[in-house]
Each structure stands twice: as C-alpha cells, then as structure tokens.
C-alpha cells in the first residue's frame, strides 16, 4: 500500500514540475485517499494545485475549466475544515460557472458556499448564498424540462426546495415541490419520490422524518451530501432555538 501511495505522490510531483497542475492535483487527491497518516498534507496539496489550475484556466478565459477546478479546490479545503478559504473558492466557482453557462455547477457552488457560511457563523451572507442556490436550481430545472429531461428537473426542483427551506422561504419551497410532484410520475426512477419526500419533510420542518429518509437514501453520493448539508443546517438551527437562554443575574 505504501508503494502505491508513494507512486501517486511521485506522479503528482512530476506533473507539478511540468506545471500540469490539474493532473498533479488529481494525483495528490489519490494519495490523500491512500495515505492515512499524511491525508491532511496530501489533501492540502491537491487543493493548492486545483487552485493553480483554476487560475491558469481563468487567464485563458476557459470559464468551464476554471469553474470545475475552483470547485475541486474548494471541496478539498472544505474537507480540511478551512471554511473561509472554501467559501472564497466556491464563490469563484459559482462566478465562473455562470460565465460558462453551467447553471447546475453554479447552484452546487452556492450550496457549499452557504454551508461554509453556516460553519463560519456568517448568517447574513448565508442567506444570499442559499437564496442563489435555490434560484439557480430552479433555473436548472426549467432548462432540464425544455430539454425533455424530467428526471433531472425533479432532482433540481427538489434541491431548489431544500435551499429555500434552509432560509425559511417555505411558500417558495412548496411551489417547487408541487411543480416536481406534477412530473415525478412521468419518470422511471422510484428513488426520485424519496428525494421529493425528503425535500417536503425538510420544508415542513419534520426533521426526524427527513433524517430517517436520508438514512435509507442510497442513490447518488453528491445528492446525499446536499441532503445531509441542508438537514444539518436546519437541525443546528432548531437546537439553538430550543436551547434555553441564560438568565442574567
């Protein structure tokens, strides 16, 4: 195993020396999943080289490549719990994704930007990011419907509802859920109904039910991460509300 880990690291170093930053980042990411005692070091290097690739892509006006690289870099920093850096890079990813007309990537970037804000206690900017997430997933759903992709539309509407639920825009969230309900029966994937049920439970603040649904949800890992992030935000907020205030003597 150590030989395999070392191979990933050596390859990463070779790519870095020739300024092939994206390939270097990918190899460091592999090394991070391989090494146990050096996972933080390898993850940080992966983040740094994804960031370098993003900057290179930006100089070449390659907005799509820049968006994806910024997103990867931000994700690595998120794994390191460096939420301040992650927030900045998720914002960059969203900006470049919008320039490259990558609506879903922009929406996902704002989701994790909102998650980073939540972790940093930045409640004011959290509202902006979560609202952007909801609106962009809503736009992505419309694009999917125009392309005849009902399955993708249900997913995007469910995610839009989750984003709006985190900022307590309940009426707006329910509109997305109702829209998704009208088309979900036209899709062949049964798990989409589970996703939609989760979004509805989240919107209606039935958090225990949402937690049970998440526990049994075994589909796309990326969607699971979104569900978990939105649920954790609402659960933490609910705990703060129920926490008794300290009496001032």
d(CA 77, CA 54): 14
Alpha-carbon Rg for the chain in angstroms: 20
pLDDT of residue 19: 73
**What are the structure tokens assigned to 207, written together?**
């958090």
Q: How far is CA 94 from the centre of its chain?
A: 11
In Å, what is the CA distance from 3 to each residue of 8, 9, 32, 41, 219?
9, 10, 14, 17, 33
Query: pTM here?
Result: 0.78
d(CA 190, CA 188): 6
Any residues with CB less than 8 A from the CB of 100 and at least 6 apart, and which?
A: 63, 64, 66, 67
pLDDT of residue 246: 55
Q: Are 23 and 15 in contact (CB under 8 A)?
A: yes
- Residue closest to 230 by CA, chosen among 142, 145, 169, 180: 169
**What are the structure tokens assigned to 220, written together?**
């796309």
pLDDT of residue 170: 94
* Residuewise pLDDT in 10s, the chain (249 residues): 456 667 767 777 777 777 777 777 777 777 776 666 677 888 888 899 899 999 999 999 999 999 999 999 999 999 999 999 999 999 999 999 999 999 999 999 999 999 899 889 898 899 899 999 999 999 999 999 999 999 999 999 999 999 899 898 999 999 999 999 999 998 989 899 999 999 999 999 999 999 999 999 988 888 888 899 899 889 988 888 887 655 544
């Amino acid at each position: 195993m150590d030989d395999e880990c070392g191979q990933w690291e050596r390859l990463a170093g070779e790519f870095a020396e020739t300024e092939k930053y994206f390939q270097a980042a990918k190899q460091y990411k592999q090394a991070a999943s391989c090494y146990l005692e050096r996972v933080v070091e390898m993850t940080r290097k992966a983040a740094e080289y994804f960031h370098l690739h993003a900057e290179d892509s930006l100089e070449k006006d390659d907005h799509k490549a820049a968006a994806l690289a910024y997103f990867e870099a931000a994700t690595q920093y998120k794994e390191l719990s460096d939420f301040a850096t992650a927030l900045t890079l998720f914002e960059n990813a969203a900006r470049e994704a919008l320039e490259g007309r990558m609506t879903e990537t922009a929406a996902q970037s704002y989701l994790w930007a909102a998650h980073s804000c939540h972790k940093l206690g930045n409640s004011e900017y959290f509202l902006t990011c979560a609202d952007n997430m909801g609106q962009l997933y809503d736009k992505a759903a419309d694009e999917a419907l125009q392309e005849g992709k009902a399955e993708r539309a249900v997913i995007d509407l469910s995610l839009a509802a989750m984003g709006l639920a985190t900022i307590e825009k309940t009426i707006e969230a329910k509109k997305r859920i109702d829209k998704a309900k009208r088309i979900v029966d036209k899709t062949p994937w049964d798990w989409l109904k589970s996703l939609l049920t989760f979004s509805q439970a989240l919107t209606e603040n039935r958090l225990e039910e949402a937690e049970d649904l998440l526990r049994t949800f075994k589909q796309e890992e990326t969607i699971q991460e979104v569900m978990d992030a939105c649920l954790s935000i609402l659960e933490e907020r609910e705990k703060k509300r129920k926490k008794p205030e300290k009496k001032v003597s």
